Amino acid sequence: MTRGSPSSARSWGATPSSAHSCLSSRGGDLHRVASRRLAGFADAPQSIEIWLAGEWKPLAQSESKEITKRQAGGERHFEIACKGYRYKIDLDHMTQTNTRTGRTRTLRYADANPNAPKGSPMGFESFRKAFHDHAPGASLREAALVDSWPLDGERHPVLVDLTVGAMLRSMRLRGQSDVDLTEWSHYWALERDSPSFRAGADVNEKLAAALKRDARVLGRMQMHYETSLHESHATGGLTGDGLVRVCERLVKSPEQTIEQKWAAEVLEKRDRGEAVAEEDAELSYFDFLNVMLGRKRYKVSLWMYDISDGLAGRWSWLLLGKQFDGIWHSGLVVEFPDRTSEFWFGGKLFDSAAGTTPFGEPMEKRCLGYTYKTRDEIRNHMARYLAVEYSRDNYDVLTHNCNHFCDSLAIFLMNEHIPDDVVHQADQVMETTTATLLRPFLNRWLGGFGDSATVASSQVETHEMDAVDPGALVEFCRAEGGRPLVGEILE
């Protein structure tokens, strides 16, 4: 089966995804029809997202509606009230500022077809009803789901079988042939809440390990989340106070469980003064599991190398007419537990062990913050979205260099730019006559590391689709970070 993004395909993949895509299908989007009927989702209006805890997350529907309404009335700067807070909304800069804490966060409009519908987290009853509609007993078998698969139009047996099989494999956290109610509900809740397929997969890996020790822990976690939502009369998600109450109740319980240990770790983190949740955020089911399972964040730094080898600091005023401490090549460094990766651009994109690049020792290391993105997510983003833009053919020391790449990657990791003095240094340097004369040489040197055998093993290759013909079955994603789906090429 081929992987890629065909120009026209049909899909019966099961996910609430309705993300923007170049894919189309005969008889309408059967993929969306099937997923919404299976999980009981209803179409949601266009939403606004906020950068929160390292991910883009939807604002509450009431907030989105209020902002959209005020914008339609011609307002660009205004205040709204929500969850006991007041927020200043600036639509010129797309920011939300908490008037009590002064905390400012970035907003964006969600795509017309978001990666997953972001409805209320109180959706477990809908999931349970859908399960019982498809499973007459206590578990769901593959054959039963295939037979009851909702379709609008012609049936494609092979495509349906592949799609159902892939979906159930993702559901089977216990490794059994059948899927039970808790696995089904968990799958659809993550499809609704998870910011990306990889983020959801990380949660599932941890849960699968926990289920080997205690087969009932998943059901209890769903119970804890739903119970706390009900107690606090929440409609959007679990508050930070609600999370603390869950953990305190678990720690006091005489029953020794896995989640009791998780709860104790959350409270210990809080007692050390570390934030366990944003002060005004509401935790979705995905967020709740992430906190309880100990979601990891990774330090991000900008490593800066002086490609002039000290000459800039000593002679830049004489040669360039301006003083520069160094002529910077930069790499973005992320400290993962197994290996610290340095991501950089030198004609091609690379993922190297930090400090092993051809540039020697960095002259400066600047901490930029933290990211929750995994190495796989970063490499996938680089391969699919940055490798085409950042290539040897379009390398330019002035307009498209290593610092511009680091800036693009930093936006993906943290929604923040790298410092202006780094990303815009080339503009200042290349204004001089000497640097202009050196521009062709610098482009050949700094844009030619893809030819070096010493770094070839760390190249991040562009994801390109194989040549496929109509009728071929392919695996594709409707949006960046989305779940891989099965589809058929139409044209």
DSSP state, 24? -
Element (H, E) at 370: strand 364-371
Contact between 27 and 9 (Cβ < 8 Å): no
Of 421, 407, 413, 425, which Cα lies nearest the Cα of 344? 407
| Helix, strand or coil, per DSSP, at residue 396 | strand
Contact between 173 and 207 (Cβ < 8 Å): yes
DSSP state, 384? I
137: which residues sit within 8 A by CB, 6+ positions away? Answer: none
| Helix, strand or coil, per DSSP, at residue 450 | helix
- Alpha-carbon dihedral angle through residues 203, 209, 212, 216, given to the nearest 10 degrees: -30
Distance CA 41, CA 81 (A): 28
Q: Is 247 a catalytic residue?
A: no
- Residue 329 phi/psi, 5-degree rounding, is -105, 140
Hey, what are 349's tokens?
A: 């994109």
Radius of gyration over every alpha carbon of the chain, rounded to an integer in angstroms: 25
Contact between 54 and 414 (Cβ < 8 Å): yes
Catalytic residue among 31, 156, 329, 404: 329
Catalytic residue among 402, 404, 406, 477: 402
DSSP state, 362? -
Hey, what are 6's tokens?
A: 């065909």
Q: Is 367 a catalytic residue?
A: no
Q: Could you give the strand order of the β-sheet that contains 485-489, starting from the edge strand earlier in sequence?
A: 2-3, 473-476, 485-489, 9-11
Element (H, E) at 229: helix 217-231
114: which residues sit within 8 A by CB, 6+ positions away? Answer: 18, 19, 47, 58
Contact between 14 and 34 (Cβ < 8 Å): yes
Neighbours of 367 (CB within 10 A): 10
Query: Which amino acids are annotated catalytic?
Result: 329, 402
